[in-house]
A and B are shown apart, each in its own frame.
Chain A
């Protein structure tokens, strides 16, 4: 009966894989919160679709992390039996959905990164990560196209949508820097050709973002102050609530099989 948190041996490769898995799970979970409540039926389906893509990525990455770790953990133990301080996702993806503009700006910032990231990761010397990247790249290319189109529609749509989109950009901007941060544990993987150096994609990400934001008649904030902490488990207050919901059954009925 394991209601307690699982212990994870966070070797560099396990930690690296869990970080990406957590990004995908938490963002996928956020998108799934829209199900049944979106502005149009078409968008309800699109949000669920992207949520499903991300959940699929998370499951593959968790399973790989479990294999690398070679302990007793599996995808569900990682997802359901780690506490907020053990989660390693970006602060950006745990931010609440807010209005539709906020959800789309969050998606746009992340997808513009993920698209470049997964494309580069297809060259990883780790065959499993390269294979996951090949699948994820196709999905994130669609997520980027979908969210870019909405940013343009909202920014260049009505006065109200413009205002909402600009507010979302201003509010979420400080969470984008973390996507490109590298710590010591990742540096070794980059040197070994397993992980990619996120510095070159950063410049390209900024170009993509700027082009779309300009076309949307919106503006990027002048501030360069960036929040950090998600990668080492220092999260916003929002993640704990998300996890208490996500984990409720596993925590209430320890050891049950579903």
Chain B
């Protein structure tokens, strides 16, 4: 555990469901009170949040890989510094979120082990490859843009540590999104080859980005209880619609074509996309995306190759403690 020790006086009975406590808990949520780590909470609330926050943390860490793929090849020194700083931010978000998840009682090591074992999920979007520099612009513009749509409402999530983490994360993400859009703008104002590169990246990322909001409302598994607990405040389809409506004018401004011939604007002004291929989403989620194996292999390799370093640090800390103890005893 990396967080401070929490009050565990009710550890024995914190999993015991108790109708009166559950009612009091829900009453607090209903008046928009924040739930804090030491407060009583239903076991299912704890489990749902542990899963969601840790998945979010894993996504930040795995998400470093596709963008990290271009740090050594960034086209100018300014772009190189911005990209390195951005990927470093993602690492910071991961750390921050693991710390938030730990307040619910599961250690970072356990959470990371579950991810490395393939038992815990991370965002499927990171199982797609970054093939050109335009992919870095597109990820900033669309992937971070979609993440912001998802995360802004989480700043008001009922669980205090997660909500506070999201406030900081969202500030940095919106900076990343502007950076991404600026990369796209430069490409679209550039040579024909650069414009084609930008369009090609949009073609490849558009549909996977729409899938980031999750399955359509009619089949979503978690939404009902998450809504009741004010973890989730908007449905998948609502957020997806918001994102599409915000993004279409940006694509038009860039002079890019959204790769959806069926998309049209309805009478109320909403942009209605054509049907999403949920079979692709299911396949990527099941481990069959273009990079699932590469991403997990890269994280496992870093973990395995770092084992001797972590062991050395632990051994040194132990030696030092013994020496200090021996000195104090003299």
Contacts and interface: CB of A to CB of B under 8 A. Distances in A.
B72 to A, nearest CB: 5
A246 B88 contact: no
Contacts of B85: 48, 52
A127 B319 CA distance: 48
B310 A40 contact: yes
B186 interface: yes
Contacts of A59: 77-78, 81
B20 interface: no
A168 interface: no
Contacts of A62: 77
B71 A37 contact: no
Interface string A241-252: 000011011100
A98 B73 CA distance: 20
Given A59-B81, A248-B73, A257-B190, A36 B87 contact: yes
A49 interface: yes
Interface stretch (B39-47, B90-98, B114-122, B264-272): B90-98
Interface residues of A, number: 49
A41 B91 contact: yes
B77 A256 contact: no
B275 interface: no
Interface stretch (B148-156, B202-210, B221-229, B300-308): B300-308
B261 interface: no
Q: Interface on chain A toward B: helix, strand, loop, or mixed SS?
A: helix
Nearest to B191: A256
B311 interface: yes
A100 B309 contact: yes
Given A32-B84, A55-B81, A248-B73, A158 B301 contact: no
B83 to A, nearest CB: 9
B61 interface: yes
B243 interface: no
B190 A39 contact: no
Contacts of A76: 76-77
Interface in B305-330: 305-313, 315-316, 319
Contacts of A10: none
Nearest to B318: A157
A100 B306 contact: yes
Interface of B: 61, 64-65, 68, 71-81, 84-85, 87-88, 91-92, 94-95, 98, 133, 183, 186-187, 190-191, 193-194, 298, 301-302, 305-313, 315-316, 319
Interface of A: 25, 29, 32-33, 35-45, 48-49, 51-52, 55-56, 58-59, 62, 75-76, 79-80, 99-100, 152-154, 156-158, 160-161, 164, 245-246, 248-250, 253, 255-258
Given A29-B72, A35-B91, A157-B312, 10 more contacts: A36-B64, A36-B298, A37-B301, A38-B306, A51-B84, A52-B84, A52-B88, A100-B305, A154-B316, A246-B72
11 contacts: A35-B87, A36-B65, A37-B301, A38-B302, A55-B84, A75-B77, A157-B315, A157-B316, A157-B319, A245-B72, A257-B186
Q: List the 8 closest A-B pairs by CB distance, nearest first.
A: A39-B306, A157-B312, A161-B312, A39-B309, A48-B88, A258-B75, A36-B68, A36-B64
